């Protein structure tokens, strides 16, 4: 597969390069950047000095690209996607433009008119463990957000099995600073983040409608979720802790059985032994998700936790997982191996 990456110098773009450089069936033929075109890629990202990746190009995607990863701010990919599709280029969008099924929801949360609402019916939500059959054969994949990936892997099997009270869901989430991207901002520079811990996007984070959309599909009715993200003074990682009331007669073994049925054949989702709780370091650098739960009989709530690397399973690794599905390759090709410890 001849691969192109738009937004190649951002954090998710660099992760794509890192992972694809070791992918036996992929060749990177195009690295695009709007701000650094003409410069050597290794000059911007010296960790790739041994890879001979050549110069960064402008955002004119050349002929010969089979699959294009778009690691761009919202609104940009959608404005150009039709042209790529008409050239028979498969598009995997790591941004938000095609994650939401309804244009009016996108416009409400992202405060812009959707540039390609007519393409939304062609897009598939690219969380392989939950939508593998729908992804196969598509040309436009919406790679999920990092918070939604961890949250949905934890909750969807339990909702599909009808084990939880759907109106009781509270998602308390934490992310490393790389989730904010590479651009400098007051809220993410060292003096603001170091030795600090804070909620942000409270009651208005843009991943909220994405989470609600997918959970509503799993439950079979419209759901509203309390979702609060927090910024942690670390580089990588997502940890979500979820509180959910169980339905009458449900036991902890029922919850675990629903997970087991969904994930027993999955390479990248790991249900930890009882008493072992997810840590972000388990997932650092790998395309893996780690799950745990317990049933608090005193409160009648399930306490559920999930950890992923926000840049890998939460972004670039999952995008490559989707690419493998699109081209009929083993899903773990180029993604094998554990995370990095310590």
Contact (Cβ atoms closer than 8 angstroms) between residue 3 and residue 29 = yes
| Segment 21-33, tens digit of pLDDT | 999 999 999 999 9
Regions of the chain short of the pLDDT cut 50 = none
Set 8, 26, 76, 146: catalytic member: 146
pLDDT for res 183 = 84
Tens-place pLDDT, residues 295-329: 999 999 999 999 999 999 999 999 999 999 999 99
Share above pLDDT 70 across residues of the chain, in percent, rounded to a whole number: 100
Q: List the one residue out of 92, 85, 84 whose CA is nearest residue 60.
A: 84
Give the up-direction half-sphere exposure of residue 293: CA atoms within 13 A in the CB hemisphere.
29
Q: What is the pLDDT of residue 102?
A: 98
pTM for the structure as a whole: 0.97
What pLDDT score does 184 carry? Answer: 79
Structural contact between residues 142 and 97, judged by C-beta atoms closer than 8 angstroms: yes
To the query of whether residue 45 is one of the catalytic residues in this protein, the response is no
Q: What is the pLDDT of residue 17?
A: 98
Domains and CATH numbers, the chain: 2-144+313-326 (3.40.50.720), 147-310 (3.30.360.10)
What sign does the CA torsion over 53, 55, 59, 64 have? negative
Report long-range pairs for 257-264 (Cβ below 8 Å, ≥24 apart): 258/157, 258/158, 258/160, 258/161, 258/163, 259/157, 259/158, 259/291, 259/293, 261/157, 261/161, 262/129, 262/156, 262/157, 262/160, 263/129, 263/157, 263/291
Q: Give CA–CA dist 316/263, Å, rounded.
A: 21
Contacts of residue 8, Cβ cutoff 8 Å, sequence gap at least 6:
14, 16, 17, 31, 32, 33, 41, 56, 71
pLDDT given at position 187: 87
Give the other-Cβ count within 10 Å of 136's Cβ.
12
Burial class (CB in 10 A: 0-12, 13-18, 19+), 85: middle
């Amino acid at each position: 597969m001849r691969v192109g990456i738009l937004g190649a110098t951002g954090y998710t773009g660099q992760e794509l390069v890192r992972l694809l450089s070791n992918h036996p069936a992929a060749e990177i033929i195009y690295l695009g950047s709007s701000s650094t075109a003409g410069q050597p890629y290794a000059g911007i990202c010296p960790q790739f000095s041994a890879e001979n990746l050549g110069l960064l190009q402008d955002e004119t995607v050349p002929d010969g690209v089979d699959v294009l990863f778009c690691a761009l701010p919202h609104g940009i990919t959608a404005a150009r996607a039709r042209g790529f599709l008409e050239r028979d280029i498969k598009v995997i969008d790591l941004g938000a433009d095609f994650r939401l099924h309804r244009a009016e929801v996108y416009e409400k949360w992202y405060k812009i008119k959707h540039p390609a609402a007519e393409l939304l019916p062609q897009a598939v939500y690219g969380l392989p463990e939950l939508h593998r059959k729908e992804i196969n054969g598509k040309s436009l994949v919406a790679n999920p957000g990092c918070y939604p990936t961890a949250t949905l892997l934890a909750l969807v099997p339990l909702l599909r099995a009808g084990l939880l009270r759907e109106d009781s869901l509270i998602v308390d989430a934490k992310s490393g600073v790389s989730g904010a991207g590479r651009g400098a901002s007051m809220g993410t520079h060292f003096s603001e983040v170091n030795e600090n811990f804070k909620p942000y996007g409270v009651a208005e984070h843009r991943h909220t409608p994405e989470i609600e959309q997918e959970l509503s599909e799993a439950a079979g009715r419209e759901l509203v979720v309390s979702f609060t993200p927090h910024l942690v003074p670390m580089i990588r990682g997502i940890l979500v802790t979820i509180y959910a009331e169980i339905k009458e007669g449900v036991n902890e073994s029922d919850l675990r059985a629903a997970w087991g049925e969904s994930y027993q054949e999955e390479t990248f989702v790991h249900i930890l032994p009882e008493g072992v709780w997810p840590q972000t370091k388990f997932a650092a650098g790998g395309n893996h998700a780690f799950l745990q739960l317990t049933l608090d009989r005193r409160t009648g709530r399930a306490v559920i936790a999930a950890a992923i690397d926000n840049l890998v399973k939460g972004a670039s690794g999952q995008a490559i997982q989707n690419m493998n599905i699109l081209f009929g390759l083993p899903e773990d090709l180029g993604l094998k191996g554990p995370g990095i410890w310590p």
